[in-house]
């Protein structure tokens, strides 16, 4: 057994395995699936299916009473309704993720916000997808006149909304009553940021992150 103690810095890095071949298995309306044959750093040759994803953003919108805006939406893959925060795909060419987040907050909840920050970044399911997700914190909320605009998307025809105190939202996550990944990550990140006097927030116009190159620690 080789030494499995990591002694380098704790940070995610880009260090692609050697690609031996790639085959597209499916092309869909939004994403595709390919099979990559790669040689891992361990020397093993494997084939892995990968979902090519556009990426997405979400918005934890907090009002002046530290309540989180949530919407209730049907999700066919799980066959049920989830409480979520406004979110959407990065499927508009050349649109900054911050602009996407602003659009989604308007379209799914009918709100705009005066103050925006990057709250947390994550890969949604890195074992099978390259989906990069950014969650924003929006404050200074203002409801638009006439309500949210109709987008024409079937799942967005009816989106009941509610306001949940941030501490209560944390409890709901920890009790296993909320399961949407953006809600789970966003609510816990918002509570952690608040407890640090918001010092961990990053500028809303920050470029979408990329994995840093490996430094040879392997």
SS3 of 58, please?
A: strand
Flag whether pLDDT at 30 surpasses 90: no
State pLDDT tens for residues 11-21.
999 999 999 99
SS3 of 175, please?
A: coil
Measuring CA to CA, how many Å separate 81 from each of 140, 145, 152, 158, 164? 28, 27, 19, 12, 17
Q: What is the pLDDT of residue 150?
A: 76
Strand 45-52 with 32-39, pairing: antiparallel
pTM for the full predicted model: 0.92
Q: What is the pLDDT of residue 55?
A: 92
Q: Collect all residues with Cβ–Cβ distance below 8 Å to 99 and sequence separation of at least 6.
A: none
**Any catalytic annotation for residue 156?**
yes
Domains of the chain listed by start with CATH number: 16-52 (no CATH), 56-203 (3.90.79.10)
The number of C-alpha atoms within 13 Å of 116 and in the hemisphere containing its C-beta is: 21
Per the structure block, which two tokens stand in for 44? 């093993």
Query: Which DSSP symbol is given to 146?
Result: T
Please name which of 62, 24, 43, 22 lies closest in space to residue 201, comparing C-alpha atoms: 62
State pLDDT tens for residues 45-57.
999 999 999 999 9
Q: What is the pLDDT of residue 216?
A: 58
Q: What mean pLDDT is reported for the chain?
A: 93
104: buried, middle or exposed (CB in 10 Å: 19+, 13-18, 0-12)?
buried
State pLDDT tens for residues 144-187.
998 888 776 777 788 999 999 999 999 999 999 999 999 999 99
Q: What is the pLDDT of residue 38?
A: 97
State pLDDT tens for residues 93-138.
889 999 999 999 999 999 999 999 999 999 999 999 999 999 999 9
Flag whether pLDDT at 25 surpasses 80: yes
Q: What is the pLDDT of residue 72?
A: 95
Active site residue: 4, 104, 131, 156, which one? 156
Q: Tokens 């809303």 label which residue?
A: 204
């Amino acid at each position: 057994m080789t030494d499995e103690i990591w002694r380098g810095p704790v940070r995610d890095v880009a260090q692609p395995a050697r690609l031996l071949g790639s085959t597209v298995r499916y092309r869909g309306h939004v994403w595709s699936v390919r099979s990559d044959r790669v040689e891992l750093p361990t020397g093993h040759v494997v084939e892995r299916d990968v979902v090519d994803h556009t990426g997405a953003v979400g918005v934890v919108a907090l009002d002046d009473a530290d309540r989180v805006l949530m919407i209730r939406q049907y999700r066919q893959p799980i066959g049920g309704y989830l409480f979520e925060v406004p979110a959407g795909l990065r499927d508009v060419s050349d649109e900054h993720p911050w602009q996407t987040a602003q659009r989604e907050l308007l379209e799914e909840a009918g709100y705009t916000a005066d103050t925006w920050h990057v709250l947390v970044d994550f890969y949604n399911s890195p074992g099978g997808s390259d989906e990069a997700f950014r969650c924003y914190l929006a404050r200074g909320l203002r409801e638009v006149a006439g309500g949210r605009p109709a987008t024409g998307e079937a799942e967005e025809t009816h989106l009941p909304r509610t306001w949940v105190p941030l501490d209560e939202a944390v409890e709901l996550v920890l009790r296993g009553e909320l399961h949407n990944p953006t809600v789970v990550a966003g609510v816990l990140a918002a509570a952690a940021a608040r407890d640090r006097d918001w010092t961990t927030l990053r500028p809303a116009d920050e470029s979408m992150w990329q994995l840093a190159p490996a430094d040879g620690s392997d």
